[in-house]
Amino acid sequence: MSINQEIENTHLTKRVALIIYLKSVSDQYKLRHYGDIVYFSKKMKYCILYVNRKEAKDVKNQIVQLDFVNYVEISPEEKVNLDSQHIEGQLVKMAKEAEKKLQLEQEKNEDQMQ
């Protein structure tokens, strides 16, 4: 069972992240009215705001209309597959790729030594 399915079966409030791109870094404080700011990047001028999943589209529409906001998107976290078999498969694939790369580097070093 995936983590998302386990969360659906609990009494916890379902939340989703909105990624909000701002025109000015000082305007991030005005967004606290809409939800909880969990991350803010001064360099990239964006913040991540958590809101209730049921209200996400309405809040997004309200925030888009603010004059200090460039763009708003809902986080695509629902599309992330957190199933343990999927993650295990990815780890095995990455390990094989790393072994091949290491083997090629070792062969290259042996050729240079000769």
Mean pLDDT estimate for the chain: 87
Q: In total, how many domains does the chain have?
A: 2
State residue 2's pLDDT score: 57
54 and 106 in a single domain? The answer is: no
Whole-angstrom distance, CA of residue 46 vs CA of residue 51: 16
**What are the residue ranges of helices labelled H in the chain?**
3-8, 56-64, 84-113
Helix (H) or strand (E) holding 100: helix 84-113
Read off the CATH number of the domain in which 34 is found: 3.30.70.920
Give percent of the chain above pLDDT 90: 55
Range of the domain at 71: 1-77
pLDDT digits (tens, 9 = 90+) for 16-72: 899 999 998 888 889 999 999 999 999 999 999 999 988 999 999 999 999 999 999
State residue 66's pLDDT score: 94
